[in-house]
Amino acid sequence: MRRRLLSSFRSRMITASLAPIILMGAAATFNLAVSSANLSRVANLFSLDLFVEEALTSVDAVVANLAVYIDTKNSDALRACMHHSKLLSAKAGVLAGGLSYEEDAIIERNLAVLLRRLIEESEAAIRAKRGRNIPEYEAKYQDVRMLASFIRDRADALSLERLGLNLDAFEALAEESGRAATLLGAMLASAIAFAAAIVLSYSLKLTEPLDALAAAAGRISTGDFSGGPLAAPSDDEIGQTARAFNVMQASIAAYIDEIRNKAAVESSLMEERLKNLEMQGHLRSAELKALQSRINPHFLFNTLNAGIQLATVEDADRTRVFLERLAGLMRYSFRDLDAPVALRDELACLRDYAYLMTIRFPESIDFDISAEPGAEAAALPKMIIQPLVENSIRHGFSDKPLGGAVRVRAGLEGGDLVVSVEDNGSGIAPGRAAEIVAAADAGTELGSAEGGLGMANVISRLRLFAGRRDVIEFMDAGPGARVVVRVPFKEAF
Amino acid sequence: MRRFLKVVIVISGVALVVTLAASIAVASRMRDGIRSPDGRQGGQALFHILAVVPSSDAERYYSRAVEAMTRAARKRDAVLQTLEYDQGDAPSAIARQLRLAAELEPDGVVVSAPLDPLVTEAVDALSERGVPVVALETDLPGSERAAFIGTNPYSVGVLAAQAVAEDFPGGADVALVLSRDYADGSARGATIAAGFVYGARDSSGVRLAMTRTAREGPSASEAIVRELLAEHASIDVAVFIGARDSEGAARALIEYDRVGELAIIGFDDDPALLELVHLGVVAASIARSPERSGEVAVEAIMTLAKGGRVSAYIDPGLTVIRRRDGER
């Protein structure tokens, strides 16, 4: 608490402002006290002069009244003489000091001795007068007169000595007074400069942090937290305000960061949700299209099974195999489109499709389907490779009835599953690949996709599965076309 | 700005403290400058000695003697008070000072006054009151003074003759000029002359040709110098027994541009005379020692005040000052 009080800006400012005032006050008080003491001493010197002057008056009165008494034996003169003798006795008592080395003190002692002698001799003269001893009282009266003249001489000497002392004192006083006035002026100027500098310094100390505080508050109000914390080295009110401001700034920044993070998370969730919705949309679209192609599947499977049994009964093995492969292909195509499948299943479906196409167009197309070890376990969306092969057959070999070849290769490359479908057909028309990708980007489907899933749909599903855009590449195989699918390797369940 | 303000604060703060301290010091000095009777310094003396002496300029004989007596008294727990008279004062005025001294009940009195019945009577009155009196430099034969501390006039004459003989090995005619202090009715002047004659007895050709006494007044020595130069060309050396007369004679020689035509033997070692010795205007000076005289006088008074005894004649001694590096 005490430390707080001392470090308080207010108390420091008050102390700094009061310090020169107190110093000057002390100096002024000291000067006043010394001046008063000096005045008192000077007055004392004058009072001593008055004291001696009164003594001289009494001496004259003793001499005069003694003369009157000796001449006339006047009682009033005697009473006056005795009265002044008494006064002189008292004054002699005051003047009689020890034997000092100071000249004025020695003369005062001289005066005391002479006054005492004057009183003794005047009393002796009075006694002689009463005893009618004329020579005695005449001699004593002369002694009194001589002593009175000695007293006057000594009083003059004392006055001269004191005048000298007073002159010395006055000279010292005059000299030192001038010096004191100069010093007082210098002290005043110093105190004014000191106080002004202190007040200015403290006002700067006060306003500069406040300016910084105001600037920081303005910056923060615009959302700019780049200024960093305010400097708060002192423990005064300003320092405490700055520290509190820094805490507030940090709290606001943290709060805003938290809100941003939440917004980012929510945005990410929304994006995820949108992706899911888009995926679901594509799936629904694929399913719709698949459903459109399904004509009473139970009836179809029953019919195909009946055909298989018939072929078995009639020993028509090729027909039976044909129907079995067709039924497998159809069963695979009717599976749920939402769940990814293993590449081996996709390739099995493709092999069924290739067998059927070989039966339909004997010696027209040669299929070569293979996968590297480990690649068949990779997951990928269902019905991806078959549409690519179907497109090769439909568009690549439309004007090539014989000698067609389709080669499908699957492998792992840099953490990706890479499946390439290559044919030796007529290749992809210029601009067609870009149209396909643009349709996929726009979420639309190109025409001539009847009887199968469209390429744009394939690309969109691949993108959703891979979580990136570069999932397919169309290349010229010279002759023919080559389509490469590249998705991250994920092992299928 | 902050830096400038810091500099201003430091400088003005230091100036404030310095001026404050100086103000306090000045105020203290002002306070000390006015001494109050209650604030007398120096303690208390046990003995009170009075010195009745002629007034003297600073650095002159009696001034230096009083200073020496003051110091010597202080060393012995005594205070010395001077009652001065002017050189030209009548004996009655001096006697009055002595009567005043008697009334002041001192423990002893040092007196230097011309021999006069009034003075002698006042000294006797002091002695009757039991106050020991010591005569300084001028003896008061026939009085009740307890001792005389001063220059032996015979020795002054002897030393003067020896100084002349040293400067004039071939011989010289000498004029002896006594100061008015020695025209006091005592035989001191004659004793000096006798001493000179005695001192010159072994020197070939050093002869006391004439004696003079400088009259009262500021131009006495100048008048004598003028007389010697104009009317007594055979005089080679003038021996002045008096500091002021010696200086006056030397300055007259300078003024007349006759330095070297008349050699001067001076008296005492006042600064002005010493300068003239060093300039070569004054050949030599027979110097008393006021410091030694003052110290011996106080010592004698203190011994007497304490009931002791001292020698009736005490000679503090003389020296001869020459130009050669102030040799004595």
Would you tell me the crossing angle of helices B61-75 and B290-305 to the nearest 10 degrees? 40
Chain A residues in contact with B42 by the CB 8 A cut-off are: 100-102
Nearest to B20 among A27, A106, A176 (CB): A27
Question: Average pLDDT for residues A187-205, to the nearest whole number?
Answer: 81
Distance CA(B299)–CA(B110), nearest Å, equals 11
Distance CA(A334)–CA(A139), nearest Å, equals 174
| Better-scored residue on pLDDT, A166 or B245 | B245
Chain A, chain B: beta-carbon pairs less than 8 Å apart: 136
pLDDT at A2: 52
pLDDT at B235: 94
Say if CB B81 and CB B69 are below 8 A apart.
no
Q: Does residue B186 carry a pLDDT above 80?
A: no
Q: Considering the domain B47-145+290-317, what is its CATH architecture?
A: 3-Layer(aba) Sandwich (3.40)
Angle at A296 between CA A290 and CA A302, to 5 degrees: 120
Rounded to a whole number of angstroms, the distance from the CA of A224 to the nearest CA of chain B is 30
Q: For residue A333, give every residue at least 6 positions away whose Cβ sits within 8 Å of its Cβ, in sequence order, or none.
A: A290, A349, A383
- A483: three-class secondary structure by DSSP: strand
C-beta atoms of B1 and A183 within 8 A: no
Q: Is A296 exposed, middle or buried (0-12, 13-18, 19+ CB in 10 A)?
A: exposed
Distance CA(A275)–CA(A268), nearest Å, equals 10
Q: Is A186 exposed, middle or buried (0-12, 13-18, 19+ CB in 10 A)?
A: middle
Question: Average pLDDT for residues A49-53, to the nearest whole number?
Answer: 88
Between A412-426, A440-454, B89-103, the lowest mean confidence (pLDDT) is in A440-454
**CB contact A148 to B (< 8 Å):** no
Q: Are strands B206-213 and B263-267 parallel, antiparallel or unpaired?
A: unpaired
Nearest chain A Cα to B80, which residue?
A101
Cis peptide before B218 (omega within 30 of 0): no
Chain A interface, mutation test: which of B3, B5, B16, B52, most A Cβ atoms within 10 Å?
Answer: B16
The share of chain A scoring above pLDDT 70, in percent, equals 91
Question: Average pLDDT for residues A179-202, to the nearest whole number?
Answer: 82
pLDDT at A287: 63
The share of chain B scoring above pLDDT 90, in percent, equals 62
End-to-end CA distance of chain A: 72
Say if CB B132 and CB B294 are below 8 A apart.
no
**Phi, then psi, of B81 in degrees rounded to 5:** -115, 130
The share of chain A scoring above pLDDT 90, in percent, equals 30
pLDDT at A406: 93
Q: Kindly report whether the global pTM for this prediction surpasses the value 0.80.
A: no
Between B21-25, B80-84, B183-187, the lowest mean confidence (pLDDT) is in B183-187
Residue B328's pLDDT band (cuts 50, 70, 90): very low
Between A15-19, A58-62, A117-121, B104-108, the lowest mean confidence (pLDDT) is in A15-19
Distance CA(A393)–CA(A361), nearest Å, equals 11
Between A181-190, A369-378, B273-282, the lowest mean confidence (pLDDT) is in A181-190
Q: Does residue A464 carry a pLDDT above 70?
A: yes
Would you tell me the crossing angle of helices A317-333 and A343-360 to the nearest 10 degrees? 140
Q: Are strands A404-413 and A365-371 parallel, antiparallel or unpaired?
A: parallel
Q: Are strands B78-85 and A481-488 parallel, antiparallel or unpaired?
A: unpaired
Distance CA(A447)–CA(A424), nearest Å, equals 23
Chain A interface, mutation test: which of B103, B109, B129, most A Cβ atoms within 10 Å?
Answer: B103
Query: Alpha carbon of A402 to those of A358, A361, A367, A477: distances in Å?
Result: 12, 9, 13, 18
Q: What ipTM, to 2 d.p.?
A: 0.80
Rounded to a whole number of angstroms, the distance from the CA of B122 to the nearest CA of chain A is 14
Say if CB A100 and CB A106 are below 8 A apart.
yes
- B265: three-class secondary structure by DSSP: strand
Residues belonging to chain A: 493
Q: What would the DSSP string read from start to end of B117-158?
A: HHHHHHHHHHHHTT--EEEESS--TTS--SEEES--HHHHHH
**Phi, then psi, of A2 in degrees rounded to 5:** -65, -45
Chain A residues in contact with B44 by the CB 8 A cut-off are: 98-100
Distance CA(A483)–CA(A459), nearest Å, equals 12
| Better-scored residue on pLDDT, B112 or B188 | B112
Say if CB A144 and CB A198 are below 8 A apart.
no
E strands, B94-132, where?
A: 108-111
pLDDT at B180: 73
- What are the pLDDT digits (tens) for A367-388? 999 999 889 999 999 889 998 9
What's the maximum distance between 2 C-alpha atoms anywhere in chain B? 95
Would you tell me the crossing angle of helices B91-103 and A103-130 to the nearest 10 degrees? 90
C-beta atoms of B33 and A172 within 8 A: yes
pLDDT at B20: 80
Say if CB A80 and CB A57 are below 8 A apart.
no
Rounded to a whole number of angstroms, the distance from the CA of B35 to the nearest CA of chain A is 7
Handedness of CA B107, B110, B115, B119 (dihedral sign): negative
Distance CA(A49)–CA(A56), nearest Å, equals 11
CA A370 to chain centroid: 67
Distance CA(A34)–CA(A26), nearest Å, equals 12
Question: Average pLDDT for residues B275-304, to the nearest whole number?
Answer: 94
**CB contact A263 to B (< 8 Å):** no
Question: Phi-psi category of A308—alpha, beta or left, where left has phi over 0 and alpha has psi -120 to 50?
Answer: alpha
Question: Average pLDDT for residues A97-120, to the nearest whole number?
Answer: 90
What's the maximum distance between 2 C-alpha atoms anywhere in chain A? 207
Continuous segment of H or E residues that includes residue A383:
none
Between A5-9, A371-375, A431-435, B6-10, the lowest mean confidence (pLDDT) is in A5-9
**CB contact A74 to B (< 8 Å):** no
**CB contact B24 to A (< 8 Å):** yes
C-beta atoms of B12 and A165 within 8 A: no
E strands, A109-193, where?
A: none
Nearest to A113 among B42, B43, B104 (CB): B104
Question: Average pLDDT for residues A53-66, to the nearest whole number?
Answer: 94
CATH code of domain A335-488: 3.30.565.10
**CATH 3.30.1360.20 given to domain B153-288:** no
Q: Does residue A451 carry a pLDDT above 50?
A: no
Distance CA(A306)–CA(A319), nearest Å, equals 12
Chain B interface, mutation test: which of A23, A34, A51, A179, most B Cβ atoms within 10 Å?
Answer: A34
pLDDT at A289: 65
pLDDT at A450: 41
Residue entry with tokens 């990814």: A340
Question: Average pLDDT for residues A115-126, to the nearest whole number?
Answer: 94
C-beta atoms of B12 and A48 within 8 A: no
| Better-scored residue on pLDDT, A389 or A25 | A389
Chain A interface, mutation test: which of B23, B41, B100, most A Cβ atoms within 10 Å?
Answer: B23
Chain B residues in contact with A42 by the CB 8 A cut-off are: 34
Question: Average pLDDT for residues A402-413, to the nearest whole number?
Answer: 91
Distance CA(B317)–CA(B296), nearest Å, equals 11
Q: For residue A121, give every residue at least 6 positions away whose Cβ sits within 8 Å of its Cβ, in sequence order, or none.
A: A140, A143, A144, A147
Q: Where in chain B is the domain with CATH 3.40.50.2300?
A: 47-145+290-317, 153-288
Residue B287's pLDDT band (cuts 50, 70, 90): very high
Residue A364's pLDDT band (cuts 50, 70, 90): confident
- What are the pLDDT digits (tens) for B23-52? 778 777 776 766 655 555 567 889 999 999
Order of strands across the sheet with A481-488? Answer: A365-371, A404-413, A416-423, A481-488, A472-476
Question: Average pLDDT for residues A258-276, to the nearest whole number?
Answer: 88
pLDDT at A449: 46
Residue A429 per-residue DSSP state: P
Say if CB B262 and CB B238 are below 8 A apart.
yes
How many helices, marked H, and strands, marked E, lie in chain A? 12, 7
Query: Alpha carbon of A290 to those of A279, A331, A334, A394: distances in Å?
Result: 16, 12, 8, 19
- The tokens describing A316, both together, are 């028509």
C-beta atoms of B27 and A31 within 8 A: yes
CB contacts under 8 A, A 76-105 vs B, are 98-105
C-beta atoms of A102 and B104 within 8 A: no
Between A291-305, B47-61, B210-224, B248-262, the lowest mean confidence (pLDDT) is in A291-305
CA B101 to chain centroid: 21
